[in-house]
Amino acid sequence: MGDWHDQTVAGLAARLRAREVSALELARHFLARGAQHADLNAFLARDEDVTLAQARAADARLAAGEAPRLTGVPVAHKDVLVTTDFPTTAGSRMLAGYRSPFESTVTARLAEAGMVCLGKLNCDEFAMGSSGENSAFGPIHNPWDRTRVPGGSSGGSAAAVAARLAPAATASDTGGSIRQPASFCGLTGIKPTYGRVSRYGAIAYASSFDQVGPMARTAEDCALLLSAMSGGDPERDSTALDLPPEDFTRGLDASIEGLRIGLPREFFGDGLNPDVRAAVEGALAELRRLGATLVDISLPRTELAIPVYYILTPAEASTNLSRFDGVRYGHRARSFADLTDMYVRSRSEAFGEEVKRRIIIGTYVLSHGYYDAYYLQAQKLRRMIADDLQHAFGQCDVIAGPVAPSVAWPIGTHAGDPLAAYLADIYTLAAPLAGLPALSTPAGFGDGGLPVGLQLIGNYLQEGRLLNVAHRLQQATDWHTRKPAGF
């Protein structure tokens, strides 16, 4: 069983059905790998008894012959998705030890699909961060180079899949938090169209941006998971689109002959590191060889995406996190003078520096006298950025470019300069501002042999097209098969 961790989700599903391996054997194998590589700090919670019980139930379903396609395949969940069998902390001391009385829609649907949960994954506190360093429970380490960040906020998801501690993981993307860690760790990750996947049970950072999606090694694996987790949820999430379930694996092998790929000139300017540019251009050359046409386009408000995002998301966060006050939810200070003092002490003690920073910014831009000058103007610009993207889709079918300006940076690089970390989101922000689907797929390697991702952005509900392009690229290259040394 030494190489089961090198199998993809699709490969494991096939072998489970062929009875070459049992769900119980797989669960024990991946639990052992998680314990062996605990120094990556990818997992926050594991429970062997729960995981093995789920595996036994999966084996019973397989033996009965009526099991869904993913039955018995292990998965791990980002710790912003509430679960009844594991604690949920969102990477914060505010929720240390919290046990949810209900299950998120995403985790429930994957359980219904037969997947076996290995545990909960570390992340930036309340999904606020681009590096995986902002967790209250310590930084996550990139398996490709343990001195470097794995990306954020879904850093635990990326580190676990890249290190073969899990074949796939759930993640969430507010401004790039699926795509950027996928890029930094050499994986495939897709942020679906806003509303494609229910947010019920996903602890909110910025409600009009947050979207849950899968992270795995291949586009095929992501298609399998997205097929299981997506669909309407009318009784629980009014923002979830009322769409029937869709099998995203059906169009994976379609030809991309004649596909128009738009290259925004703003994505290839002076801020892009030469090593990343070379890798992305190499991937684009492969797509051209497969029959795609490269088209020059412009997204003129690209630079405005950063200030717009860092006005709107803190504003929503300041409202969403107001519930964590020591009364309704979360940590309560042990000593306080009165009710106001209890609020102040509880929140000061339990929230990390980055969360406090964004709450303060959000409260400021929503305050009287500043709402019109900042928040309202940012909302207008958000609409203009979305219009720019729609104009671009009149000239192309898919937009492509880098995920981040550089490869993963050393842990602590931006500790005293949060603005520098914010700038790393420059290429990933447009898609969530417009609610569009976007994907990262391996595109080679940059300085230090570190992974580089190619970003693909599609029009609304075009996840299938993005997965098709990524799949065809992966069939023609081997970047997605490479793994960190020692894993």
Q: Is 177 a catalytic residue?
A: yes
Catalytic residue among 22, 78, 135, 157: 78
Cα–Cα distance, 199 to 197 (Å, whole number): 6
Q: Is 322 a catalytic residue?
A: no
Cα–Cα distance, 450 to 185 (Å, whole number): 8
CA dihedral 248, 150, 352, 46 (to 10 degrees): 70
Q: Is 120 a catalytic residue?
A: no
- Are 417 and 280 in contact by the 8 Å Cβ rule? The answer is no
Question: For the CA atoms of the chain, what is the radius of gyration?
Answer: 21
Residue type, 454: L
Catalytic residue among 153, 154, 172, 440: 153
Beta bridge partners of 410: 148
Catalytic residue among 22, 157, 177, 183: 177
Cα–Cα distance, 332 to 345 (Å, whole number): 8
Cα distances (Å, whole numbers) of residue 420 to 70, 129, 135, 352: 41, 12, 18, 19
Token digits of residue 479: 């970047």
Q: Is the peptide bond before 153 cis (omega within 30 degrees of 0)?
A: yes
Burial of 84 by CB count in 10 Å (0-12 exposed, 13-18 middle, 19+ buried)? Answer: middle
Cα–Cα distance, 166 to 155 (Å, whole number): 14
Cα–Cα distance, 120 to 187 (Å, whole number): 19
**DSSP output for 368-431:** TTTIIIIIIHHHHHHHHHHHHHHHHTTT-SEEEEESSSSSPPBTTTTTT-HHHHHHTTTTTSHH
Burial of 146 by CB count in 10 Å (0-12 exposed, 13-18 middle, 19+ buried)? Answer: middle
Cα–Cα distance, 119 to 31 (Å, whole number): 9
**DSSP output for 189-220:** EEEPPTTSS--TTBPPSSTTT-EEEEEESSHH
Residues marked active site are found at 78, 153, 177
